[in-house]
Each structure stands twice: as C-alpha cells, then as structure tokens.
Structure 1
Amino acid sequence: MSNISSNTNLQAYRASVLHFQQDPAFHEKAYAWHEDGLLIVEDGRIVAAGEYAQLHTSLPEGIDVIDYRGKLIVPGFIDTHIHYPQTDMIASPAPGLLPWLETYTFPTERQFADINHSAQVAHFFIDELLRCGTTTAMVYCTVHPESVEAFFAESEARNLRMVAGKVLMDRNCAEFLRDTAEGGIRESEELIKKWHKRGRQLYAITPRFAPTSSDAQMQLAGELAQAYPDTFLQTHVAENTDEVAWVKSLYPKARSYLDVYDQYGMLRPRAMYGHCIWLDDADRARMAETQSAVAMCPTSNFFLGSGLFNFERADAQQVSLSLATDVGGGTSFSMLRTMNEAYKMARLGGTYLPALRMFYLATLGGARSMQLEGTIGNFGKDAEADFIVLDPQATPLLARRTSHTESLDELLFALALLGDDRTVAATYAAGKLVHQRQAGHN
C-alpha cells in the first residue's frame, strides 16, 4: 500500500468492516470481514478496505483516522423499488392493491404537477433515505416531468447515485394522471437526454404497469428502452392475484404477465421488476436469460396481502435478486426493517434466509441487479465511497443482544431483526458525510 498518496482528500475510517464479493447462497467465500478494519477513501472513491493492522502503516503522516470502533461499516444500502410521491400517503388503509391505488395513491400523485410541491417532498424523501442508510434507490416519480426534475435536482445537489423516471400511464387511471402514448415517450426521452449520466444521476424508463399503458405506449416504451440500452427500465409485475387476472383480461394472447413485457422488448439488462410473486418457472428462466432483475418487496407484500416471494424457485433459476422497501406500499424506509420482513417471508415460504444473505441482497445484490457492480455495492478499489456506519448499541435491547453474539451471522441477524433507522450512526455518499445520528436519540 505504499502507493497511497498524501492527497489532503484522503480519509480513513477505523471500525469493523464488511462487504461482499459474491452471493452467500451460492459461494462459500462470499464476503470480506475485518473485525478491526480500516476503510481508506480518496476523492470520493475507495482506495482500500482491510485489516487495520496491515493498512494503517501505509497512511501518510498527519491523516486523522476517524474512529468508529465498536461499530460496523458496510456499503450503503440499495433500495431497488420505491415511490417518492407516496411518502405522504404511507400507512394508508385499504383492502387490497387496486382500491389502495384508487383511494390514496393516485390522488396524492396529482399534486406533483407542482414543481415546488415535488421539490419539498423530494427533500424530505432523500433525508429519510439517508437517515435509514440508503445511498442508492430506484425511484418512481409521477406522470409529471416536474416530479422528475425536482427529484434529480435534489439528488444532484447532494451528489447521490440515484435512478429515477417519469411514470408512463395513458389508460385505466384518473384523467388527471394520464399522459399520451407519444407525449409520455417524448417527455421521457427529453428527461433521458438531460439527466441520464449527468453526474451520478441515472434514468429509468418507467411504465407504471401493463394495465395503465396502452398497446401503443408499451410498444413505444420498449422501443425507447432498446434505443437507449444503458438506461434502466422499471415496472411492476405479478404482485397481486387480482392484478394478474386483470392483465390476463387485457392481454389474452400473452403466455403470462411477464410475457406482456417480453413481447414489447422490455426484458433486458438493467430492467428491474417489482414484486414477481406470481411468476412461474418459465418466467423465471426468461428473467435469468435476459438478465432482468427482481426487486423483492416483503413489507409491501405483507401490507397489501399480495403473497409470498418464492426464494427457492427463483434461486433454482439463479434469477438476479435485490431487496426493496416499496414505500408507500411498504411501511418503512429502513432496509434493516425490510430485511426483518424478508426473513419472515422466507420462513413462511419454507426457506431459511441467513443474515449474511440479507445484507448481500441490500448491498452488492442490488448493485449486481442494476448492473452497477464495481460502481456501488461493495468496497472494491475505485468503487464510489457510499457507505454507512451501523451501531450495535443503538438501542438498549440491541446493545443487550449484541453484547453476547458469538458469530458474524448472529451479529448481523440481530441488526436485521432488531435494527431500524436508529441503528444508522452515519451515512456517507461519495466520501462525504451526508447524515449523522444525533447522540441520545433512542
């Protein structure tokens, strides 16, 4: 490590350090764990992560090592499916997905034609993400281009790695949320040209879901996704049995709900499909073949009574998996609380989900699903320095439980099952402190 420069932008952090190189479900040596570790950052990127005893002597004289001993540094969490306009209607009661959309979601989204309202919500939303340790998210805006402009402006001002897109919907929705097939695509393309790869911002082509886009809009969205192959694509699929039946009535010739998207050329790398509960093995094989990815949303699935994601069948096809909050169907911005729900979802489905895999899914799993490994998600050299500091003593109960854990998996399990936003002591984006928890807030 003698090549570490004396750049004044060099920073070093001492703590336990954990990150992943592989999925623990398929690889025995999937992670690097340094109980007394050092993370070295320069100009917003990772220089090295390893044992303190081995790395500290390579630091230039005069560098202050920020001491987080007793805490755990992991890559920033990656939330692959979340709706920022639904922040204000989180925890709204409804008997199911479709009435919930009609009663709460669509009226709330109507307000985002106002860019000032959008900006105010975007500011709070990003504050909440950072407070919970989420440094990257795949974000649904509304049908209004103003909602996208406001979100990206807020994210850019904080130099965050975010993905977002204007929702496309030209049928089966309230008139006040309806665009047109051509107009929605034209607005999306203008937003791509302005924001995609501008700084750390990335664009996602975003048909809300098949029932709310006409054949013409679906066709044009697929063509846009092919014309801009390095953009993302995000939508919903097979979340709820009523929704699946509705899609079947709208697309009677399609083999499955997923096949609707496939027919329009929307299965491809960087395509993220929310939920994926009611898929069959042919669907899963097709997702794996096309490098399309799953955003699992356990909290939302429980809240809306949608069903249980099948880990065993997805893993049998080695589908790319990630974890997501799905706020406002999800009832928490916290990826730790989302891990808690994912564990229970797996158990109810007859699968055991180890804590190491939960943390993988919330970090490198998300990055891989988004085709961003090497950019975010772990501490490989030159990766962007997005990381968080977790405090095992954040609450009295967590402190008591973690004082006698006997393995790394046990420690992580306690953090996942007992942790929440209070567990996140600090959040860093591109090497800069962007959230610090105030002492004494138990």
Structure 2
Amino acid sequence: MAGIKQISGIIIILCLFSSCKIISNVEKPKAGGMTAVSANDFLNSIGVVSSITGRGETLSGTIDAINYTGIRWIRCGLEDKISIKDMISLHKETGAKIVFGLLSGGNDVSAVIDTARILAKAGALLAIEGNNEPNNWTIDYQGEVGGGKKSWLPVAYLQRDLYRAAKEDPILKDYPVWNISEGGAQTDNVGLQFLTIPDGSGTIMPAGTRYADYANCHNYITHPSWPGLHDNQTWLSASPGFDCPVDGLAGNYGVTWRKKFPGYSESEFQTLPRVTTETGIAMGGEVTEDIQARLFMNLYLSQFKRGWSYTAIYLLRTRSNEPEHEKYAFYKMDYTPKLATHYLHNFTTILADDGKLHSPGKMNYSIQDQPDTVHDLLLQKSNGHLFLVLWGERFLGGSDTITIHLGKTYQLVKIYDPTSGTAPIDIKRDVDAIVLEMTDHPVIIEVEK
C-alpha cells in the first residue's frame, strides 16, 4: 500500500480493492480547506425497507439485524400490519426510527395519522409517507379508483388529505410528509410532480395544493434501459439531473416519464428536499454477492453526497410471501446474513457516532488529477475527529491511481477496510500524501498527529 498520512483524530474513508492498494452535502475542497459534514447525519441517512414483524419477519430477528448493520431507520406502513407496540419496542432496542405510510393501495388516512401520533409520542417517528407506486397498486379513495392507467385525481386527493391531516395535528405538524413514489407515472396532470403546486403550472389540481415536504423516488441503481454493471453505477443513479440513467428525480419531478408533464427545472433540483424509499440491485449474473455488497456501501455514500437526505435499500430480509426477492435482501429468509450485511456492519462500526456536531472542522486536502470514478466526502464525528470519505466506482474493472495531498505532515495513519473487518489493516507514519489504487469499495484511513 502506498504512503498515507494523518491529522489529529482524522479519519479518511476510501473505496478501494480489498487488498487495500440536503443536502447537496459537499463541495470541492477550496482554499482554507473543506468544511466537514456531520458523520451522525450521514449515518442517520442509512435506511432499509422491512415489515419488522410482518410477512414472516420476527421482532427479535429484526432487532438483531438492525443492531448488527447499524441501519438507522425503517420504511414500513399499513400493508405490513405491524403492531404499534412492536415498532416502539424496535425503536427502544435499536434506536432506529420509523417512516410510516399508506404504501401499496393504502387509503386510510386516519389509521396512518393515529399510528404516527403514537410513534411520535414515543420518539420513534421519522416521517410520514404517501402511497407506494400508484402506477402498480391502484387506490380506492372516496369511492373512486385511481392510479394505474386510470385518472390520478383520487391519488392526488388522498395525498393532499394526508398532508393536511398531518399538518393540522398538534403532535405531527412538525414531522415531514414524504410524497408518493412514482409520481412520474401520472396519466393526467394532477401536479404530483410538485411538493406544492406553483402558480401557472397548468395542473388539474389548483395552485397552492400542498402534497409533501420531500420528493420521493425509487431510483434503483439499474433499469431496463440501463441494465448490467457500469462505472459510476451508484453515482449516476443518485444524480438529481437529467443525466440520471435510472428512475430518478428528473423523470418524476422534472418532466414526468409517462406523459411528459413539466415540473421543476434542473436548477431547482439541486435544492429540492428529497428522499429515496426504495433502491438497490438484485444479485445475479455479473452482480455477485460481493459486488452487491460493495455497491450497497457506495450507494449510501453517493446518495448522501448528491443531496438525498434519507435512503432506504430494498430489502432487509426476504419476505415469506416474496421468496424470489431474496436476491435483493441483506438477509436470507432464515436470517442468514449475506456479505452486504457484514460489509455494512464494518462500515457503520468504524464510523459509529450518535452525537451532534456543534462546530464543523476543516481539512485542507486535495486529490491530484481526480478521476471521474473517484468521489469524496468529508465527515466529522461529534468528538471532533474528521473522516475523509472516498469511493471508487470502477465496476467494469480496472483501477485509478490517485494522490491525496493532506496539506501537512501527519505522524500516524491507520487504514481500515470494511470488506476485511473493523480493525486496522495497516499503519503508516510521517506522511503528507497518500498514493492509492482506487477500485470499487470503501476503505477508512484514520490520521493522528
């Protein structure tokens, strides 16, 4: 491994080969150094889809899985038929919060609000979510069926009413409401490509209609129009712009993918509050268990760096009614962990932090001739330690040799590789630059004076 270097309590995360050769979260290093982002905020962005105790999952199994992986939030809803007691128990045992929603075909606003209110009182609620993919699961609201290939007015009325009910509730009014997913599939222009419909938008629903506080996408990192593995797989999939090759922000909130209804401009995407409630990639063919595990770590990093406040990978554990979805999941149906589980455990353990960052620090680093397949993110723990995160996106093979200039000489550098474990795999002394062969996964470098 080429030279590496360090600063007092600084950690650097790099995506390498295992041999170790809201936010628009980070900008390029500039004179005076790069300002760090809270490590705890990054960890809080890491979520997963789970039925907790539904569809064959067990409370004890879910608790163990969340504690082991370090995942911070779970997406679930009416269709999962989970007891409120179990959701609160999960929160108490793991600290994980709940995003609770209408999900597939759900239409009971009162049930969502009542559940969310109890979760909020217990400190277990993160957000409220609208319908899951109404293009695939129609809804029946106030006697009208909508979504799919029918009119989407019932979907719009339902989301409007969910938002209004949450904001009129004294306990829930400050909790965010996340939009439906797949608003790009609207058959008629009901305006679900907006959080609040602006004047002059030409939508069926009136200007001023409020649907959500956050845009919501299912930008899986592969797509029928973009199959297989690619360099920059997770980076491009996380793009908020029209260069996104998958089902991303542009096709749901810019120009809708089905009927081409106009929404936000590309410049407005950059600051649009956004979340992903489903993403991931299935094992199969060139996507081996090991490649999937590396992609998952990179996915969480790329999403956060490119402005997604929260990201949920589908799926925590294979559901008993959908055994074919095991290829997506962290755990098999019997809770046997896959490699993605172990890699994420190592990754979140090395970065572990749960405190508030009061005064962000800086690091005056630079990456010489940075390739477009290498990305970086500077984090800081609440104890003041800094973490420079880099990840390589060479999923078609090959590597990138990079030199990281740290701005000064550091006495001690400890190198960690999440694909190997949580202990240092190497230690370097008295270095002011690091030369690395970057490939396709994170490695963590801790630097001290």
Which interval holds the TM-score relative to the shorter structure?
0.3 to 0.5
TM-score (norm 2): 0.45
Q: Whose helix proportion is higher, 1 or 2?
A: 1
